[in-house]
Amino acid sequence: MQGTYFTNNGTQNERPKDYDGENGDEIQDSEQDNDGRRDVYERDGDDGCEESSPEDVVADSSSEVKEERSENHGSSRDQDPLIESIFALQSAQEALEKELVKIKEISKDISVDDSVSDLHREFLDVEQKLHKTSSDQRVPQGCSSALQSDVVETANRDVETEVEDLFKQKIEVEVEYLAISRMVQKLKAAAGNHITVLEEQKALVSEQTQILDKLGDAENKALMLKKQAEKLENFCEDIASADETLELQNRVCKYSSCFVLQLLLLVIILSVLFQLSPNYVEVVPT
């Protein structure tokens, strides 16, 4: 029977699945070595595991597997379910990282109103994928459960870190949304006040327009009154000239009447003088 195994570059090679007693003892020794390494990981605590990434853990575990295979005299060609599980976890971690990068890119492009709901939805999707990945990573038979649990725990911590980052982004977006909503309310209030001021200015402009119209009518009436005044002035001048003419006529009549009266008196006086003179002979009619 032929099986497959994964090397460090991700290629698959064929190998026989038959195990003899010597290889079984070597596998047990490698499992004991892995248990010892797990104890070392547990003693290191937060100093190493929390700061190490899944890629570093995978690289370390793959290098350790290389050393074990070199020590087991050619047993590196045998099937190692631990490597398969490690690469499966690594591929799942890469898929999750790609999803998180897509979420970040999408969160930059969407609007503020949609970002909160989209981030929440993407977070739920990532959480579901995390649970699905955790449930799908079943421990194969004959692999080191301690090292695999460390790798899974490290991957879960990284995913939890990403989830916490998403939570932080969600909170930041919500705060930004609240700030923008308050700013919009303030702008609406300012716009309402500005509209009120504009309406008042419009009313003032309409009043000023009415006043200007009234002033225009008053100016027209003033011009008409001025024309009428000029006409009255001309009429008064005509009346004054007529009065002067009448006065001159009265004077002429007065002087002429005085002259006629004086002439009549002179004639009367002369006739009386002729009658009183001695040389006057009265003519008696016969």
Return the percentage of the chain with pLDDT > 90, whole number.
19
What pLDDT is recorded for position 3? 41
23: its two tokens = 């290889």
Residue 96 lies in a domain: yes
Contact 152, 138 (CB under 8 A): no
Residue 238 lies in a domain: no
Is 80 exceeded by the pLDDT of residue 137? no
Q: How far apart are CA 184 and CA 113, in angstroms?
A: 13
* Mean pLDDT, all residues of the chain: 70
Return the percentage of the chain with pLDDT > 70, whole number.
54
Is 70 exceeded by the pLDDT of residue 208? yes
Q: How far apart are CA 169 and CA 119, in angstroms?
A: 8
What pLDDT is recorded for position 108? 60
Read off the pLDDT of each residue in 127-143 and give the average, rounded to a whole number: 56
What pLDDT is recorded for position 40? 41
**What's the structural domain count of the chain?**
1
Residue 144 lies in a domain: yes
Q: How far apart are CA 207 and CA 142, in angstroms?
A: 96
- This prediction's pTM: 0.28
What pLDDT is recorded for position 67? 52
Read off the pLDDT of each residue in 91-115 and give the average, rounded to a whole number: 68
Residue 230 lies in a domain: no
Q: How far apart are CA 91 and CA 87, in angstroms?
A: 6
Q: Which domain holds residue 51?
A: 2-185
pLDDT in tens, 44-102: 444 443 444 444 544 454 455 445 544 544 444 444 666 776 777 777 778 777 877 77
Q: How far apart are CA 38 and CA 146, in angstroms?
A: 6
Residue 255 lies in a domain: no
108: its two tokens = 């930059």
What pLDDT is recorded for position 9? 39
User: Which has more confidence, 114 or 43?
Assistant: 114
pLDDT in tens, 215-246: 999 999 999 999 999 999 998 988 988 888 99
Read off the pLDDT of each residue in 98-110 and give the average, rounded to a whole number: 69
Is 60 exceeded by the pLDDT of residue 128? yes
For residue 142, is it left (φ>0), alpha (ψ between -120 and 50) or beta?
A: left
Is 70 exceeded by the pLDDT of residue 173? yes
Residue 29 lies in a domain: yes
User: With bands split at pLDDT 50, 70 and 90, how would you rate the model's confidence at 211?
Assistant: very high
For residue 89, is it left (φ>0), alpha (ψ between -120 and 50) or beta?
A: alpha
Is 70 exceeded by the pLDDT of residue 176? yes
Contact 116, 177 (CB under 8 A): yes
Residue 181 lies in a domain: yes
What secondary structure does DSSP assign to 223-269, as a single string?
A: HHHHHHHHHHHHHHHHHHHHHHHHHHHHHHHHHHHHHHHHHHHHHHH
pLDDT in tens, 177-195: 999 989 999 888 888 888 8
Q: Amino acid identity of 102?
A: K
User: With bands split at pLDDT 50, 70 and 90, how would you rate the model's confidence at 11?
Assistant: very low
pLDDT in tens, 243-274: 889 999 999 999 999 999 999 999 999 988 88
Residue 25 lies in a domain: yes
Q: How far apart are CA 116 and CA 13, in angstroms?
A: 47
Task: Name the E strands within 43-159.
Answer: none
